[in-house]
Structure 1
Amino acid sequence: MPDAIPAFRPDRLGKDVLAELPAYDLIELFFFAYRDFVSDPDRILDEYGFGRAHHRVLHFVDRQPGLTIAELLDILKITKQSLNRVLKELIEKDFIESRTGTSDRRQRLLFATAQGHDLALKLAKLQTRRIMRALSELDPDGKKHVSGYLLRLIDPDDRAHVERLVFGDGKT
């Protein structure tokens, strides 16, 4: 059996070495945290025949009523082809509705239906419980530090855009 790779300890390294050593402990913690973060919603989504892609689409459409398909594609960083199947299912099962744009009739504006909003809220509440439980074990500035850390994981060229979506007016 190969030797275990020690945990990443940036406090014991010079900055020039940081980029050379894999942060296996943090990488794995991130994988495990994500696994558990999505596990509760996954069980509920499965009851509808939906997956994580459906969850992401429903989440952003519910949070930003009137979102255009182009804006949603930009948020999710996926192709139109990838979105089409998921969006079609959500529309056919009455979780999302697509309306013609008011100023540009070629635009399709997306809205969560009452059923879609209820599901999005149910999933968000599950994930919020997990997040709040973890934050409750941190000091009072914990949320600020976690938010800052997550924001810094986002590519620098997309960070301002994400900040506007999450903390600002919501429009892309």
Structure 2
Amino acid sequence: MVTPTKPLAKTPAARPVVEADRLTEAIELLFFAYRDFISDPDEILARYDFGRAHHRVVHFVGRNPGITVAELLNILRITKQSLARVLKQLIERGFVEQETGKQDRRQRLLYLTAQGRELEQRLAAPQRARVAAALEKAGPGAGEAWRTVLLELVNEEDRAEVERRIAKAAAEQR
């Protein structure tokens, strides 16, 4: 006969272990969720011999038409050399175009071409569907909770800038 045990959370000494286990589980779920969240776009990108860096560039250029290379470097936090390689491929293959800045001729302003916009939509569609389904299943208030958790995962000194960028991009998309 098995005797029932008391839940660990009721004993004061066990609370930190339970909390650590919950946090470890949350981290692990984030890893699995990210793996699956990017799986559909990864398949699409592979058809073009592109990788995740290409996806991020297409996403942020699509959300911020006319973004400068410097701004994109700030968002992605990758080296100039890495961005240059990815941009070169996207430009040569007709997904991104660059223009010289009108006020500052040293600036390179980036835009998606029609082909780039189509790729951005193909990459985003399965991700939008996955997030929409998850939020619907999670129930009322899940969207705001999701946003709060993700925003709190962003470094504190970057949060205001991230929120500003998201709001600006959303306003320009309307």
**TM-score band (shorter)?**
0.7 to 0.9
| Bigger proportion of residues as helix | 2
- State how far apart, in whole Å, the 2-side matches of 1:170 and 1:119 are: 18
Helix, strand or coil at the partner of 1:110: strand
1:47-95 deviation digits (Å, cap 9, x = unpaired): 0110000000010001110000000001111111111100100000000
1:22-171 to structure 2, matched below 5 A, reads 23-166=23-166, 168-170=167-169
The number of equivalent residue pairs is: 159
RMSD (Å) for aligned C-alpha atoms: 2.3
TM-score (ref. length: structure 1): 0.86
Letter in 2 for 1:86: V
- State how far apart, in whole Å, the 1-side matches of 2:51 and 2:12 are: 41
Helix, strand or coil at the partner of 2:105: coil
Q: Equivalent pairs: percent with the same residue?
A: 53
Q: Which runs of 5+ in 2 are unaligned?
A: 1-8
Q: Which runs of 5+ in 1 are unaligned?
A: 1-8
- State how far apart, in whole Å, the 1-side matches of 2:109 and 2:11 are: 52
1:3 maps to none
- State how far apart, in whole Å, the 2-side matches of 1:86 and 1:70 are: 15
Letter in 1 for 2:168: D
Q: Which runs of 4+ in 1 moved over 6 A?
A: 11-14
- Higher radius of gyration, 1 or 2: 2
TM-score (ref. length: structure 2): 0.85
Shift in CA distance, 95/25, structure 1 to aligned 2, threshold 3 Å: same
- State how far apart, in whole Å, the 2-side matches of 1:12 and 1:97 are: 61
Letter in 2 for 1:159: R
Letter in 2 for 1:53: A
